[in-house]
């Protein structure tokens, strides 16, 4: 079962219009013959044709840069694609509509990169006021086609300077005829589209996962509350599922997670705080594994995945980066109170032991030269840390205080990190200096 959900997070752009020629169709003669299994594939193709590659349509120039937007004009569950060509006077929008496997029509319309859509009624509206001249043209989206309905123009703002005229569909009419014909549209509140500062968020539920659409890929954004076993698909609608968002996988009943083959980015605490999670299966294509991904999962005593990868792989239930000298994640549910970090580990990466609450005593060998930010953060049972490398680098991130990397938790009320245990090291070592700096 698949569900579609449209959520808008919109910052309104300014309404600016200037006189332009009538809207023009940009529909290619053969475009209707091309088949696209999903509107996602169709619109991504149109974006590539318009901009060439992903980098060119990841827009950041809020004032003048091109943009794109999705909006469901005719409320049929499939949005239209608006491609704004800029915010200059002569910059129109290109609007595409998709139906039954095809892009069935498109139109170039608007000015300043915007076109208007009524709050009710399935129309695109070209609205322009410039130097006392006013124009509105209405195109209805009906059965997958943009159908011209009416246009109105007048110069009433120039009364007193020149003879006033009224036109309907390009023909001169009396003021009474003009008002009566125009009345059927006057109740519309027109809302501009094409240059929103935030895109519409499109989420789709597939099985127990909820995935967010990003034109060339999907990202897992959350899961259904009653999810027990989650298997992330390789693709949705022909596009790869490549990311797991921060805090995405969280459920009281969740027991197991299996990554799809295309997952390459796993963001902060993506699987954190799952109290019943016992099984995780990674893939061999992860390029970015952010911090605290497996933190505070008290039943997770082993993390499974490929035994070899150029980036992240698993050994002895732990996750390593590039080779077995760089530890990225220790399972937070492993029931070991005394941990001796193996001699082959030279680098403990950020958040590696985060929220491992069973650990009471941990010893780093002389070969461990680097302990990353938050490596032992929020380990509430931790009593003793021994660091045998005299010159080991112990990192604390900015903004978290001097006791984040080795900490038991936070002080209620203040939110400051604290550590009540001991830190052991040689005299004159970096461990001694870190201990002296710990409140």
Residue 18's pLDDT is what? 26
**pTM of the predicted protein model:** 0.68
Instruction: Let me know if 414 is exposed, middle or buried by CB neighbors in 10 A (0-12, 13-18, 19+).
Output: exposed
* pLDDT tens column, 195-213: 765 455 678 889 999 998 8
* pLDDT tens column, 243-263: 999 999 987 889 999 999 999
Nearest to 368 by CA among 384, 351, 353, 348: 348
Reported as a pLDDT band with limits 50, 70 and 90, residue 95 is: very high
Residue 59's pLDDT is what? 46
Residue 19's pLDDT is what? 28
Q: Please state, as a whole number, how many other Cβ atoms lie within 10 Å of the Cβ of residue 13.
A: 19
Between 213 and 29, the more confident residue is: 213
Contact 182/190 with Cβ under 8 angstroms? no
CB hemisphere CA count around 268 (13 angstroms) = 3
Reported as a pLDDT band with limits 50, 70 and 90, residue 6 is: very low
Buried b (16+ CB within 10 A) or exposed e, 64-85: ebbbbbbbbbbeeebbbbbbbb
* pLDDT tens column, 377-428: 999 999 999 999 999 999 988 766 667 899 999 998 888 899 999 999 999 9
Residue 13 pLDDT > 60: no
Summarize the confidence of residues 226-247 as an average pLDDT. Answer: 94
* pLDDT tens column, 314-345: 999 999 999 999 999 999 999 999 999 999 99
Helix (H, G, I), strand (E, B) or coil at 268: coil
Residue 46's pLDDT is what? 87
Tokens of 117: 């859509």
Residue 194's pLDDT is what? 85
Residue 113's pLDDT is what? 85
Question: For residues 378 and 401, what is the distance between their CA atoms, to the nearest angstrom?
Answer: 13
> What ranges do the domains of the chain cover?
12-193, 201-436
Cα three-residue angle 345-348-353, rounded to 5 degrees: 115
Residue with tokens 């996750």: 319
Strands 2-7, 190-193: pairing kind = unpaired
Q: Computed over its alpha carbons, how large is the radius of gyration of the chain? A: 30
Nearest to 95 by CA among 65, 60, 125: 125
Mean pLDDT across the chain: 86
Question: For residues 68 and 357, what is the distance between their CA atoms, to the nearest angstrom?
Answer: 47
Reported as a pLDDT band with limits 50, 70 and 90, residue 130 is: confident
Summarize the confidence of residues 9-29 as an average pLDDT. Answer: 33
């Amino acid at each position: 079962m698949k569900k579609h959900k449209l959520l808008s997070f919109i910052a309104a752009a300014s309404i600016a219009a200037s006189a332009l020629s009538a809207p023009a169709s940009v529909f290619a003669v053969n475009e209707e013959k091309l088949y696209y299994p999903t509107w996602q594939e169709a619109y991504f193709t149109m974006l590539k044709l318009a901009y060439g590659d992903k980098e060119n349509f990841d827009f950041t120039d809020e004032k003048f840069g091109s943009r794109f937007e999705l909006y469901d004009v005719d409320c049929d569950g499939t949005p239209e694609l608006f491609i704004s060509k800029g915010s200059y006077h002569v910059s129109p929008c290109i609007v595409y509509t998709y139906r039954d496997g095809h892009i069935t029509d498109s139109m170039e319309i608007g000015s300043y990169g915007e076109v208007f859509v009524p709050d009710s009624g399935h129309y695109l509206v070209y609205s322009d006021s410039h130097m006392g001249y006013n124009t509105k043209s209405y195109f209805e989206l009906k059965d997958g086609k943009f159908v011209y309905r009416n246009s109105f123009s007048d110069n009433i703002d120039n009364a007193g300077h020149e003879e006033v005229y009224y036109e309907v569909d390009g023909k001169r009419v009396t003021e009474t005829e003009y008002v009566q014909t125009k009345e059927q549209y006057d109740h519309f509140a027109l809302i501009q589209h094409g240059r929103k500062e935030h895109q519409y968020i499109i989420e789709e539920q597939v099985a127990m996962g909820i995935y967010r659409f990003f034109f060339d890929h999907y990202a897992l954004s959350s899961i259904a509350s009653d999810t027990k076993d989650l298997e992330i698909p390789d693709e949705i609608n022909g596009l790869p599922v490549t990311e797991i968002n921060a805090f995405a996988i969280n459920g009281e009943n969740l027991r197991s997670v299996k990554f799809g083959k295309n997952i390459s980015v796993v963001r902060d605490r993506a699987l954190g705080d799952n109290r019943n999670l016992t099984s995780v299966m990674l893939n061999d294509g992860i390029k970015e594994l952010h911090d605290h991904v497996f933190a505070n999962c008290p039943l997770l005593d082993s993390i499974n995945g490929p035994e070899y990868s150029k980036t992240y792989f698993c050994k002895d239930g732990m996750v390593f980066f590039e080779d077995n000298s760089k530890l990225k994640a220790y399972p937070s549910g492993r029931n070991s109170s005394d941990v001796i970090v193996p001699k082959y580990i030279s680098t403990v990466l950020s958040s590696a032991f985060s929220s491992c609450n069973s650990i009471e005593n941990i010893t780093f060998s002389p070969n461990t030269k680097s302990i990353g930010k938050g490596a032992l953060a929020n380990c509430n049972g931790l009593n003793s840390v021994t660091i045998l490398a005299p010159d080991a680098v112990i990192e604390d991130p900015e903004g978290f205080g001097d006791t984040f990397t080795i900490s038991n938790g936070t002080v209620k009320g203040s939110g400051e990190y604290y550590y009540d245990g001991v830190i052991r090291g040689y005299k004159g070592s970096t461990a001694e200096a870190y201990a002296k700096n710990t409140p």
